[in-house]
Amino acid sequence: MDNHTTAVSRAHATLKRIDADPTRAVWIELRDASAILAEAQAVDERVTTGEPLPLAGLTVAVKNNIDVEGIRTTAAHPNFGAVASADSAAVARLREAGAIIIGSTNMDQFATGLVGTRSPFGALESATHSGRIAGGSSSGSAVATARNLVDIALGTDTAGSGRVPAALNGIVGIKCTRGLIPASGVVPASRTYDCVTVFARDVATAARAAAVLIGPNTADPLSRTWSLDAPLAAPPTPTVAVPRAEDLTSLDAERVEAFEAAARRLEASGARLVTVDISGLLEAAKLLYGGAIAAERAAAYGEFLASHPEGANPIVASIAAGASRHNAVDLVKDTERLDQARAEARRLLKETHALLIPTAPMHPTLAEVEADPVATNTRMGTFTNFMNLLDLCGVAVPAASTKTGGFGVTVVARAFEDQVALDLAAILTGESSPPRLGGGTPLAVFGAHLSGEPLNGQLTDRGATLVGPIATTESYRMVELPGDVPKPGVAPAPQGEGARINGELWMLPPSAWGPLLADVRVPLALGPVELDTGAVVTGFLSTNMDGTDITSVGDWRAHRRSQRTA
């Protein structure tokens, strides 16, 4: 929130846009305007006191299978659920960060569907392509974001519900590694594989929200914390896998061209493209609905739908009823098949940093879905159904507007490599580096490890990310050390003889510190460095200061430039 925009003014503007918007089927329940404005006023007061609020004043829509205190959680069934007595973990974290909850959005009933038409509260059409579906199951959240009714929205994703609607409405959808965002307070569709997701109109805003949402929660036994070796950035020259032509036969010619253009944008940014066979991933995707794993849907809501046929979507009810036919032996066999598929996915992506795939193969009209609802919905999950099953993360971004609707691509990465997917997605949308999602330990560098310098690869190759420029207090010396690789030595100076030394602050994954220490050669060492901000961080120091004194320059790059000029 900038200095000229208050949370109250943003809330007023949001309410005005919603009042003027004709798409009433977006919402299942809006909060009372007075409660929204009171919450916004409280955010402004918190900002005034200096409280850091990363999402101050941003307005939020929440899918109606996620608890919002005071709103009935129906999962789009008129007779299901009760008024939530407390926020879900995700909503509570958004409020704590200063976001303003506006209301609860429409969805495919019980989060079962990728079309956005399986709701007694009304079918939704795309915000960007009239007459075509919005995609589901997080249809209302995606449309609310795309129509600029809110800044961000929460969805859920088991088969692609946080990605397909993003593609069909021209927005960004982040599906983090399963469990990084806790699902406590969420009506399950498939408990083991459900993810809470974020929609926004740009990668940076979506990443800001995701960073707030990430973190374990004791109420969700499947929630996870960052892996110790989670990279904090994409490398400067990543290797990106793309599917073979025969894996893209579900796309029409215009979408193939749009996909290839997206791949070329990554290549032009420095990525190396490699073609891989993803047929095994596409085959594994069939297990989500075609195997015993579908029994999780029967367990989640099958009994309720069987006893409450009124208000039930017949397709959703039939999926739950059909899923109950599986037995325990079926589940054991399919779990083993999934284990094998995960191992294959790890082998496939072992030598790459990400996989670029289409998000959805087509953008059907509402009439096309009505004519063949099951087959059309199945096709929509072609490139999405496998991701949660195989423990992958992804960021969906818009790629093109075609003659037959919207088209998007998804940057897929291994579990806990979410930041890599975000960084590459930002390249596709033309944004600067998105915010960091979290994790890492700071390291101060002053010479050969700076950006563009000879040893910087020791950081970037291990998933480190640049935070920005720094300077020490005025109590350090700098000398030029002898050796094959030009580098400085930095160390505390005797009283009154030091100066401020410029450098960079990097964040390293915990797993990178051991290998980095193994690479450090005397006289360099790691030790505490006091910055001019008052912070003390680990940084490169020297145990030997016998060299040409360049303290007065105070900047290694400036010293090198002066040498080249001379």
Report the catalytic residues: 63, 137, 161
Q: Work out whether strand 59-63 and strand 152-157 pair parallel, antiparallel, or are unpaired.
A: parallel
What's the Cα-to-Cα distance from 416 to each of 220, 332, 419, rounded to whole Å?
18, 26, 8
Task: Match 């608890």 to its residue by tokens.
Answer: 67
Task: Match 């030091």 to its residue by tokens.
Answer: 498
Q: Work out whether strand 239-243 and strand 354-358 pair parallel, antiparallel, or are unpaired.
A: parallel
Q: How far apart are CA 68 and CA 48, in angstroms?
A: 26
Task: Match 């006289």 to its residue by tokens.
Answer: 523
- Contact yes or no for 94/101 (Cβ under 8 A): yes
Q: How far apart are CA 21 and CA 18, in angstroms?
A: 5
Q: Distance between terminal CA atoms of the chain?
A: 47
Pick from 176, 350, 361, 337: nearest CA to 276? 350
- Contact yes or no for 240/424 (Cβ under 8 A): yes
Beta bridge partners of 152: 60, 200
- The tokens describing 330, both together, are 């079926």
- Contact yes or no for 114/381 (Cβ under 8 A): yes
- Contact yes or no for 338/387 (Cβ under 8 A): no
Q: Look at residue 310 and give its three-state secondary structure.
A: coil
- CA atoms in the 13 A half-sphere facing the CB of 456: 15
Q: Look at residue 537 and give its three-state secondary structure.
A: strand
- The tokens describing 371, both together, are 């004519």
Query: What type of residue sits at position 60?
Result: V
Q: Look at residue 378 and give its three-state secondary structure.
A: helix
Beta bridge partners of 8: none
